[in-house]
């Protein structure tokens, strides 16, 4: 299956040399906050709007793709040690969200795409990076 | 993509009975927020979600969604199943998470629009 | 002996949660017990001793108070004040029992040092006798005893923190046994602006203490779910977090309305949340199931109309669930 080209048997992304800046580039998004020193790479992509669902994921360096433009996305991201949060559809963010991201040290990105399209764009980029051609 | 192609690509199981196999869908949308689905989902879609709630079906009928793919193999409550059959919406259970399911579907419907 | 009820006095001790106080010190005075700081080498006199004997004994041992005790039973204390008054009043050759203070305030050996500090703050005495559970005299505590041990323990703690900073996180597993922590967070119904803050803080604390990453995440997940539960489903309550004896406990207590069917509520995917709650990213019906999944020990009790208590415990010894 094509999908397996970018994920190993443990569900960890392969070719994962993707920083938050790179993610923003792929998604034509804006990085609203990121620590200069933070060079973490995407370990796993999680696309979810339900926080309990995110908490269920057992992986490091999660990139959280969500439509939930609220402080809770950031708070949940901190709990699971996420490496970044992307909010979709250019949703306006509550004023507090950026400051929560800064306080908790969670990189925050907004992008114009729907979550489905972000998934697909990231998937293609990851496949390209891991050197496998689509079949 | 036909219903059967969608089911196969998601390694899924149909939850609803008596659906029309000849149908097909052309888009996909991934969301767990019903307001988001209502406002932004393209019609003629597969909805990738973990929102296994009765209200999901109501939103699907309004937004023109034909298949609900419930991720993580989450249980589908009886009232949701009943409503789906009544409204002609198909429910599919898939073991994948929303990201994986989306990636898989993109192989069928040609990726990001 | 006429000893005052220690529990009643204990309650006047200031809260250890006082803001601005150094965390390490707060934890230390909770973790250390009176028995850890008290002097066990007791200089005592029997009931037949005179004040003159007490005076000589004080001079010899450079101490300012002597318990009058026999076979572990405490009868009173003669202080240097009593001696001065005796010299002044010309009754120094009288027996101690006739002049000693019998209105005694005592500490128990398994009380935390924070109690002892509270005693010194609330009473003018320079020392307190220490009794065991069965009321036998086992030691005596002065403020100097406490300072000495605190200084030693703080030095140890600083050394430990310094070591921790220079070591990889994996090596820190198992050190949890020495950790003590206590936090309580109020959670307000439907206050989504602040919901999750307590869990974020708990996670930060655990990380700071060098608790292993996976364990930290499990505890944080439970804390978050339980905090959100109070916010979404109850009339409000508190989330408390305790680490002691190598175990971390997250306890959520609310003031109602209680859960009608606890078993149903714990099942994955069941929820009483409404559409508004779901639009906020909650109410997936996974909260209690998630908590149960990550915890080593899980317990829930609920009374309709009264409230619900959920308990999740985690071993810090590094054993993975």
Tell whether C278 is within 8 A of chain B (Cβ). Answer: yes
Residue to mutate among A52, A54, A62, A85, with most C CBs inside 10 A, is A52
> Are residues C200 and A104, on separate chains, in Cβ contact within 8 Å?
yes
- Torsion angle (degrees, nearest 10) of CA A79, A85, A91, A96: 50
Q: Among A13-17, B103-107, C54-58, C312-316, which is the least confidently predicted range?
A: A13-17
Tell whether B56 is within 8 A of chain A (Cβ). Answer: no
Q: What does DSSP say about strands B27-30 and B45-49: parallel, antiparallel, or unpaired?
A: parallel
B-chain CB neighbours of A46 within 8 Å are 97-99
Q: Output the pLDDT for position C319.
A: 60
Residue C178: other Cβ atoms inside 10 A = 14
Tell whether A23 is within 8 A of chain C (Cβ). Answer: no
- Torsion angle (degrees, nearest 10) of CA A110, A55, A128, B113: -50
> Are residues C275 and B55, on separate chains, in Cβ contact within 8 Å?
yes
* Domain B3-109 in CATH 3.40.50.300: no
Q: Output the pLDDT for position C13.
A: 35
Residue A134 lies in a domain: no
Q: What is the CATH number of the domain that holds A104?
A: 3.40.1390.20
**Using one digit for the tens of pLDDT, what is the confidence trace for A84-101?**
999 999 999 998 999 999
Could you name the CATH architecture of C6-147? Roll (3.10)
Q: Output the pLDDT for position C18.
A: 40
Q: Give A95 to chain C, closest Cα distance, Å.
A: 11
DSSP H/E element including C7: helix C6-10
Q: What does DSSP say about strands A84-87 and A44-47: parallel, antiparallel, or unpaired?
A: unpaired
Tell whether A89 is within 8 A of chain B (Cβ). Answer: yes
Q: Output the pLDDT for position C16.
A: 37
Are C94 and C106 spatial neighbours (Cβ–Cβ below 8 Å)?
A: no
Q: Output the pLDDT for position C14.
A: 38
The structural domains of chain C, with segments of one domain joined by +, span 6-147, 171-315
Neighbours of A (≥3 Cβ pairs closer than 8 A)? B, C
What are the E-state strand segments in B17-102? 27-30, 45-49, 65-70, 90-93
Q: Is the pLDDT of residue A1 over 90?
A: no
Q: Output the pLDDT for position A7.
A: 61
Q: Please give the full DSSP string across C85-130, using - where no structure is assigned.
A: HHHHHT-TTSBHHHHSB-----EETTSBHHHHHHHHHHS--SEEEE
Residue A135 lies in a domain: no
Q: Output the pLDDT for position B38.
A: 86
Tell whether A101 is within 8 A of chain B (Cβ). Answer: no
Tell whether A79 is within 8 A of chain C (Cβ). Answer: yes
SS3 assignment, position C247: strand
B111 versus B88: which is more confidently predicted? B88
Q: Output the pLDDT for position C177.
A: 52
Among chain C residues, the shortest Cα distance to B49 is held by: C284
Q: Output the pLDDT for position C112.
A: 86
Q: Which domain holds residue A89?
A: 2-129
Residue to mutate among C282, C284, C289, with most B CBs inside 10 A, is C284
Number of separate domains in chain A: 1
- Torsion angle (degrees, nearest 10) of CA C118, C124, C130, C136: -130
**Using one digit for the tens of pLDDT, what is the confidence trace for A68-89?**
999 999 999 999 999 999 999 9
Distance, CA of A108 to CA of A125 (rounded, Å): 20
Distance, CA of C204 to CA of C209 (rounded, Å): 9
SS3 assignment, position C246: coil
User: What's the distance, CA A134 to chain centroid?
Assistant: 22
DSSP H/E element including C37: helix C34-37
Tell me phi and psi for residue C225, to 5 degrees: -60, -45
> Are residues C225 and A52, on separate chains, in Cβ contact within 8 Å?
yes
Are C206 and C214 spatial neighbours (Cβ–Cβ below 8 Å)?
A: no
Q: Compute the average pLDDT of residues B5-24.
A: 90
Distance, CA of B93 to CA of B7 (rounded, Å): 9
Residue A117 lies in a domain: yes
Q: Output the pLDDT for position C283.
A: 81
Q: Output the pLDDT for position C21.
A: 55
> Are residues B30 and A119, on separate chains, in Cβ contact within 8 Å?
yes
Residue A108 lies in a domain: yes
Digitized pLDDT (tens) for each residue of chain C, 321 residues in all: 444 433 333 333 333 334 445 677 777 888 888 998 998 888 999 999 999 999 999 988 888 889 999 988 999 999 888 999 999 999 999 999 988 888 888 898 888 888 888 888 888 788 889 998 888 999 999 888 898 888 888 888 777 777 766 654 444 444 445 677 788 888 988 888 889 999 999 999 999 888 899 999 999 999 999 999 999 999 999 999 998 888 999 999 998 898 888 888 888 777 777 888 888 888 878 889 999 999 999 999 999 888 999 999 999 886 655
DSSP H/E element including C258: none
Neighbours of C (≥3 Cβ pairs closer than 8 A)? A, B
Q: Is the pLDDT of residue A3 over 90?
A: no
Q: Output the pLDDT for position A16.
A: 61
Q: Is the pLDDT of residue A107 over 50?
A: yes
Residue B31: other Cβ atoms inside 10 A = 30
In degrees, rounded to 5, the angle at the alpha carbon of residue B11 between the alpha carbons of residues B9 and B13 is 120
Nearest CA among C287, C267, C289 for reference residue C277: C287
Nearest CA among C44, C50, C57 for reference residue C91: C50
Tell whether B98 is within 8 A of chain A (Cβ). Answer: yes
Q: Which long-range contacts (CB under 8 A, 24 or more apart) does C230-235 make?
A: C230/C187, C230/C189, C230/C254, C231/C187, C231/C188, C231/C189, C231/C190, C231/C191, C231/C192, C231/C195, C232/C190, C232/C273, C232/C277, C232/C282, C232/C283, C233/C272, C233/C273, C234/C189, C234/C307, C234/C308, C235/C189
Tell whether A5 is within 8 A of chain B (Cβ). Answer: no
Q: Output the pLDDT for position A131.
A: 61
Q: Is the pLDDT of residue A134 over 60?
A: no
Q: Output the pLDDT for position A21.
A: 95
C171-315 CATH: 3.30.565.10
Q: Which of B34, B50, B55 sits opposite C284 (nearest CB)?
A: B50
């Amino acid at each position: 299956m094509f999908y397996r080209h970018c994920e190993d048997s443990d569900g960890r992304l392969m070719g994962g040399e993707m920083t938050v800046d790179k993610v923003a580039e792929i998604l034509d998004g804006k990085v609203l906050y990121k620590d200069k020193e933070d060079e973490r790479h995407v370990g796993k992509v999680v696309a979810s709007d339900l926080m309990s669902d995110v908490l269920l994921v057992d992986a490091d360096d999660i990139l959280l793709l969500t439509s939930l433009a609220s402080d809770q996305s950031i708070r949940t991201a901190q709990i699971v040690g996420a490496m970044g949060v992307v909010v979709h559809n250019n949703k306006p963010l509550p004023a507090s969200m950026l400051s929560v991201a800064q306080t908790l040290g969670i990189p925050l990105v907004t992008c114009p795409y729907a979550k489905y399209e972000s998934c697909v764009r990231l998937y293609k980029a990851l496949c390209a990076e891991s050197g496998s051609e689509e079949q | 993509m036909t219903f059967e192609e969608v089911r196969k690509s998601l390694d899924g199981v149909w939850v609803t009975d008596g659906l029309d196999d000849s149908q097909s869908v052309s888009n996909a949308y991934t969301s767990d927020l019903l307001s988001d689905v209502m406002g932004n989902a393209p019609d003629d879609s597969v909805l990738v979600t973990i929102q296994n709630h009765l209200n999901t079906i109501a939103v699907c009928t309004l937004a023109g969604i034909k298949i609900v793919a419930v991720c993580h193999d989450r249980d589908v409550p009886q009232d949701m199943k009943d409503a789906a059959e009544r409204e002609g919406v198909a429910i599919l259970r898939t073991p994948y998470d929303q990201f994986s399911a989306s990636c898989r579907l993109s192989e069928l419907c040609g990726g990001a629009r | 002996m006429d000893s005052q009820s220690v529990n009643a006095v204990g309650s006047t001790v200031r809260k250890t949660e006082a803001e601005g106080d150094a965390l390490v010190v707060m934890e230390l005075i909770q973790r250390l017990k009176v028995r850890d700081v008290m002097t066990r080498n007791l200089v005592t006199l029997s009931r037949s001793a005179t004040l003159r004997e007490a005076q000589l004994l004080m001079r010899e041992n450079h101490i300012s108070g002597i318990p009058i005790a026999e076979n572990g039973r405490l009868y009173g204390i003669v202080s240097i004040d009593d001696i001065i008054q005796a010299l002044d009043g010309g009754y120094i050759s009288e027996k101690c029992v006739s002049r000693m203070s019998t209105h005694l305030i005592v500490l128990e050996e398994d009380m935390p040092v924070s109690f002892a500090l509270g005693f010194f703050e609330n009473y003018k005495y320079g020392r307190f006798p220490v009794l065991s559970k069965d009321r036998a005299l086992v030691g005596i505590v002065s403020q100097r005893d406490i300072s000495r041990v605190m200084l030693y323990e703080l030095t140890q703690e600083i050394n430990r923190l310094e070591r921790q900073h220079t070591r990889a996180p994996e090596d820190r597993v198992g050190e949890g046994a020495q950790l003590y922590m206590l936090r309580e967070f109020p959670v307000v119904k439907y206050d989504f602006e602040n919901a999750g803050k307590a869990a974020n803080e708990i996670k930060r604390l655990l990380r700071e203490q060098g608790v292993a990453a996976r364990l930290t995440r499990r505890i944080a997940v439970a804390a978050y779910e339980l905090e959100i539960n109070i916010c979404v489903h109850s009339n409000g309550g508190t989330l408390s977090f305790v680490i002691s004896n190598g175990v971390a406990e997250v306890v959520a207590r609310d003031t109602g309305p209680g859960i009608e069917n606890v078993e149903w509520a714990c099942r994955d995917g069941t929820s009483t949340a409404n559409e508004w709650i779901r639009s906020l990213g909650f109410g997936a019906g996974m909260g209690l199931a998630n908590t149960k999944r990550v915890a080593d020990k899980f317990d829930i009790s609920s009374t309709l109309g009264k409230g619900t208590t959920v308990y999740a415990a985690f071993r810090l010894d590094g054993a993975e669930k």
